[in-house]
Structure 1
Amino acid sequence: MTTNYREPTYGNWRKPVSPGIGRLGLVGTLILMGGLVMVTMIAMVSFLAGMIGAVVLGLIMLPLVIQDRHGRTALQAITARVAWWWGRSQGWHLYRSGPLGITGLGSHRLPGLLAQSRLIEARDSYGRPFALVVIPATGHYTVVFECNADGAALVDQQQIDTWVAYWGNWLASLGYEPGLVAASVTIETAPDIGTRLREEVDANADPNAPELARAALEEIVWNYPVGSARLSTRVTVTYSAAPRPGAKRRDEAEMAREIGTRIPGLTSMLEMTGAGAARPITADRLARAVRVAYDPESQPDLEAAEDQEMRWEDAGPVAAQEFWDHYVHDSGRSITWGLSEAPRGEVLSSVMTGLVSPHHDITRKRVTFLYRPHDPASAARIVERDRKDTRFRLNGAARDEVAVVSSDQAALEEARGAGLTRFTMLVTATVRSAEELPLAAAAIDTLAPPARVRLRRMYGSQASAFAAALPLGIVLPDHLKVPAVVRESM
């Protein structure tokens, strides 16, 4: 059977640049220009003092000019190292909970950015219960959807591309959601211990069935889960309690009522993206998922005790310790990577298949795509500013010329109604022992190039990156002390 259908490609991911000289951003350029003016004025009085001032200015500018392959400056690396040393000297890298820990009432609360989080349960307009994660520090409320993704096996390419188009429409629609600040998609692969299969077989088995049939089912129950993996997909949307910057925050009851009215519309749109039947997750199921993420060995016990409710206060680890390059939490050891560069060229819809698929060297793997949509007004302003900045940096290089074309295309697509969304990706690999960490790191290093992405290990912030990769709606930029305007201008 022949067809004239041509599979589309995807690309033109743009990271807005700050106007500046060479590798310097706006802040670095202003420091350089101001320093040159001061050195010139000093040199007019004393040539020797002017030379000393020029050397000092060069030493100040050096950390802003030196960059690694991920685009991080030496100043950022030094700041991260100093912050890590300071936090370690204060004991912030250690966490102990329970009766002998530091938490109140002997509970096992979540550590780090999730320490003050709360979990409430409400009902949407269809009467379905849903969990709502509350982050008091930022005033964010997050609802989580469980999806039964259809998968691409034995599916026509036209249907897959239709799903991708609907997914783009769903992301674009988030820019019109009042109060929405972020969204995420978490794809987690873990070993399947076969508990759900056994429960399903036991519940539907006929006691009068022939002995041969019962023996065959018993053999399937024991052998089928061996070497198999469980893949779960969760989508989160995060709303702000303040309807606009500077406004008064709304209370929990008002936020639960407002979010509950929007859930049916969000889930119905998700079903057209290939996510399958999307439904809001309950508080008990979300607490169990978080508990297993921090303590993988607790999964069999939690699945065997389905009738016992899991409290949010007991979803955290008993003990956790953050190291410079990895994170130890109860029975697991994890490494988290962050996206430092999106694919430069055009890619096909299957580019991420290998990265999100199970891997035999990684016990549990979590790939989380984080999105922060711009509203239409901000999107128009950003693309126009990016067009001007790329032309300011144009110096005849081929890469700069491509950047100008890409910025023009982004502005044209935004003018035609396309959405503008900031995105990044976190990849967490969890293993059982320290000896398995090098194998997991090598596996991720092997999976990243086929996905056309560049990943950077989150040195010095493994605990925060691990928490952000969970489907709990943590918006990392809102937890940083350095303002976003300063960070983007470096």
Structure 2
Amino acid sequence: MTTHEKHAKDAEPELHPVKFSRLSKRGILLGLSLAQLIAIGVAIAAFVLGLYTGGQTVLYLGVVWLPALLVAVIRVGGRSLVEWLPIGLAWMWRSVTGQTRYRRRIVKPRPAGTLALPGDAAALRQYVDPETGAVMVHDPHAQMLTVLREITHPSFVLLDPGEQERRVQAWGRVLATGCRSGRIARIQVLERTIPDSGTGLAQWWASQGVDDGSWVANTYKELIDRAGPAGERHVSTLSLSLDMKAAARQVRTAGRGLRGAAAVLKQEMTTLTTALRAVDLDASDWYTPGQLAIMLRTAYDPQIAATLDRAGDIGQDLATAGPVAVEERWDRLRSDSAWHAVLWISEWPRSQVFPGFLSPLLLTGGIRRAVTLLYDPIRADVAARDVRKRKTEHISDQAQRRRIGQIEDAEQSAELQDVLQQEADLISGHGILRFTGLVAVSADTGPELDAAVAAIEQAAVQASCETRRLVGQQASAFAAAALPLGRGL
């Protein structure tokens, strides 16, 4: 190798590994959460009262202090029993009041401008921008206005390391725009697989292929005709949500109401479009009501996806795009033509990994699933205040543990190092985002769903991630994981 070639090779950018902050498990006092402290406080109060009363009162009050102590210390599925209590009670209440079942009222028309969705998503409203024709989804409870578009991109794992590093840095700058603005409530990246009717491969052949009548061209055309309807394709969307409370002054200046919020959101849409060009991401036009209607319909009814793909303009009415029937169970959801289960990525890789670490999860074939990343930008002043608070709490806990002779474990030290790293990043001018990962798995039957969930859990292990199946909240979790509406949990 010549000296020139050696210097050229050294000058090539290398792909650097990344590291995620750990999910904080530090409680209010000595690792105990507020619910645990309340339960232990009740147990101590009942026990002391029994001692002061005398006799066998302490034994009689055992029906109070003993269960309170047990629910505070016994852990199931990573949580103490007292932390499971609100989830269980909420599920029982929703079951008794019939909130876990949804049936569309066919003879009763929907109010104009609403989305035909079940649960708390029934309050969502649509607003069509008269200038761009984009559909904007208004959440009156969360005071958010959301718009979305489809993103096409080359296969990241097939790019050379230098190009991967450049795209990773550019994507970081895209997310940083949400932190600097202060008006963005959430950015959602949704990557899903849907049955392919064959139009995807046909469109690729029409744009990339050379139909010159040769044997090779004819072989390709036959392969597309046979394999197209049996395949699947990946669709990636990017949703942008405006925080109407944070942008209240700009909304009033732009005309108030949804019209003013839409004008402010269009400014953020322009900024995002410019940032996406720097990442070499090909973005389509912003979604119209018809495109959103098809996406919502196929999320609850996957088997209709291929039919709608070939049907032209049929099925593009948002007023009828929702499911006909939904039944929520403790750990799964059943809709029109499929069973669904939502997994939460509870632990990201604890060691350094390269940016393509999610490949086993995203490239698992033969399984209908939607992977969602929710990014909640935090304003710089709020992030700095939160980091200082957590740093002070960690240092106070260290002093308290030394005072009582408790040994400092490695996990607590690692969490403190993560806080210090976040503080250093803020000082360097970087932004902080609170992100959540969700995976919605769909199948035709219950047993097939269990098999698909097991395969996704194994793929997550290969990606160095830990997943947990959400329970007692599958309906709201599915709306957050499978719908591009910027919903949270």
Shorter-chain TM-score range: 0.7 to 0.9
Q: SS state of the match for residue 187, structure 2?
A: strand
2:482 aligns with one of 457, 470, 481: 470
Q: Structure 1 72/206 Cα, relative in aligned 2: closer, same or farther at 3 Å? A: closer
**CA-to-aligned-CA distance 1:402-458 (integer Å, 9 cap, x gap):** 222222222111121121111111101111223311211211121111122111111
Match runs of 1:92-241 below 5 Å? 92-99=99-106, 109-122=116-129, 128-198=132-202, 218-225=221-228, 227-241=230-244
Match runs of 1:241-320 below 5 Å? 241-243=244-246, 250-273=256-279, 275-277=281-283, 279-308=285-314, 310-320=316-326
Deviation at 1:299, TM superposition (A): 1.5
Give the Cα separation in 2 of the matches to 1:142 and 1:68: 37
Q: Which amino acid aligns with 1:436?
A: E
1:440 aligns with one of 452, 460, 482: 452
8 Å Cα contact 1:337-1:455 kept in structure 2: yes
Partner of 1:418: 430
8 Å Cα contact 2:297-2:323 kept in structure 1: yes
Give the Cα separation in 2 of the matches to 1:42 and 1:204: 82
Q: Which amino acid aligns with 1:386?
A: R
1:334 equivalenced with 2:340 (yes/no): yes
**Which gives a bigger RCO, structure 1 or 2 (Cα 8 Å, sep 6+)?**
1
Q: When the two structures are superposed, what TM-score results if normalisation uses the length of structure 2?
A: 0.85
1:455 aligns with one of 467, 474, 485: 467
2:81 aligns with one of 53, 56, 74: 74
Partner of 1:85: 92
Q: SS state of the match for residue 146, structure 2?
A: strand
Match runs of 1:19-30 below 5 Å? 19-26=27-34, 28-29=36-37
Q: How many residues align structurally?
A: 469
Q: When the two structures are superposed, what TM-score results if normalisation uses the length of structure 1?
A: 0.84
8 Å Cα contact 1:108-1:316 kept in structure 2: yes
**CA-to-aligned-CA distance 1:139-194 (integer Å, 9 cap, x gap):** 21101121112222542212112211222222222122243211111011223221
Q: Which amino acid aligns with 1:190?
A: I
Deviation at 1:245, TM superposition (A): 9.0
Give the Cα separation in 1 of the matches to 2:257 and 2:289: 19
Give the Cα separation in 2 of the matches to 1:214 and 1:388: 67
8 Å Cα contact 1:333-1:430 kept in structure 2: yes
Q: SS state of the match for residue 106, structure 2?
A: coil
Partner of 2:384: 380
Q: Structure 1 434/49 Cα, relative in aligned 2: closer, same or farther at 3 Å? A: closer
Identity level (%): 25
Q: SS state of the match for residue 268, structure 1?
A: helix
Partner of 2:17: 9
Q: Which runs of 5+ in 2 are unaligned?
A: 399-406
Q: Structure 1 340/312 Cα, relative in aligned 2: closer, same or farther at 3 Å? A: same
Q: SS state of the match for residue 238, structure 1?
A: strand
Deviation at 1:272, TM superposition (A): 2.9
Note the aligned Cα RMSD (angstroms).
Answer: 3.4
Give the Cα separation in 2 of the matches to 1:136 and 1:121: 16
Question: Which structure shows the bigger proportion of residues in helix conformation?
Answer: 2
Give the Cα separation in 1 of the matches to 2:71 and 2:488: 25
1:368 aligns with one of 357, 369, 372: 372
Deviates more, 1:47-56 or 1:279-288: 47-56
8 Å Cα contact 1:97-1:103 kept in structure 2: no
8 Å Cα contact 2:42-2:65 kept in structure 1: no
Give the Cα separation in 2 of the matches to 1:154 and 1:51: 69
